[in-house]
Amino acid sequence: MAPLILYHFAPSAPSRAALLVVRNLELDAEIKEVNLFAKEQLAQEFVNINPQHCVPTIDDNGFYLWESRAIASYLVDSKASGSSLYPTNPTERALVNQRLYFDAGTLYPRVRAIAFPALFLGETKISDEKRKQVYEAFGFMEKFLTGRKWFCGDKMTIADLSILASLSSIVHIGASLNDYPNLKTWYNQCAIDVKGYEENDAGAKYFAQKVTSNLHDKF
């Protein structure tokens, strides 16, 4: 059987989230870079695989899938069913899904609202409202972590990996965790327990460098 292929671009938080799942499941996978800055995602070969031409995308022996959170759940269910990274208990899984949807619908869009205009639209400043929105998301996460080591309880899940990829991006852009002790403790715990943490961090730093090089003010 052909190995799993992950089409990946390190500056992309969703792409790094999928890679973190691969690393923490210790899957044998071929990582193929698709450089979005060079518009390699528009190559016909890639568009044939994914008409939305986005990363991450996987090829699992001819099964193509994109959207990082869909990839994360699929990889656990298909490669490591029963793993605590995506529990099968309905209430536990529902909480993981809620945190994933929070990342997809709240945290990551607020990171993207700062990064995308700076990278592609010539924006040179971060508005106070955008800063406020990021810190509001931090406040939600602070409450999610009350009485918990990880976002869904005592064990790491794919929700933690997805949130880590998004959060590390905005932290390296300049957002501070100092007013959010639960979140800061969790972030530091990730550095200890998450396989591939350094790899993710390097991608987040590169992404942040590209963003901040276009900004005239700090976060």
pLDDT tens profile 1-58: 568 999 999 999 999 999 999 999 999 999 999 999 999 999 999 999 999 999 999 9
Sheet with strand 57-60: strands edge to edge: 29-33, 4-8, 57-60, 63-66
Q: Does residue 56 have a cis peptide bond before it, meaning omega lies within 30 degrees of 0?
A: yes
Provide long-range contacts, Cβ within 8 A and 24+ apart, for 188-193.
189/149, 189/150, 190/160, 190/164, 193/156
Determine the Cα–Cα distance for residues 31 and 17; give it in Å rounded to an integer: 13
Q: Which residues are the active-site residues? A: 12
User: pLDDT value at position 217?
Assistant: 83
Overall average pLDDT of the 102-116 stretch: 98
Residue 218: pLDDT band by 50, 70, 90 thresholds? confident
Residue 77: pLDDT band by 50, 70, 90 thresholds? very high
Q: State in Å, rounded, how far the first CA of the chain is from the last one.
A: 47
Predicted model pTM: 0.97
Overall average pLDDT of the 80-93 stretch: 97
User: pLDDT value at position 1?
Assistant: 58
Tell me, yes or no, if the two domains 4-80 and 90-213 fold the same way: no
Determine the Cα–Cα distance for residues 171 and 25; give it in Å rounded to an integer: 25
Overall average pLDDT of the 170-195 stretch: 99
As its CATH architecture, domain 4-80 has: 3-Layer(aba) Sandwich (3.40)
Nearest residue to 102 (alpha-carbon basis) of 166, 183, 185? 166
Q: Where are the domains of the chain?
A: 4-80, 90-213
- Correct CATH for 90-213 of 1.20.1050.10, 3.40.50.300, 3.40.50.11310, 3.10.129.10: 1.20.1050.10
Length of the chain: 219
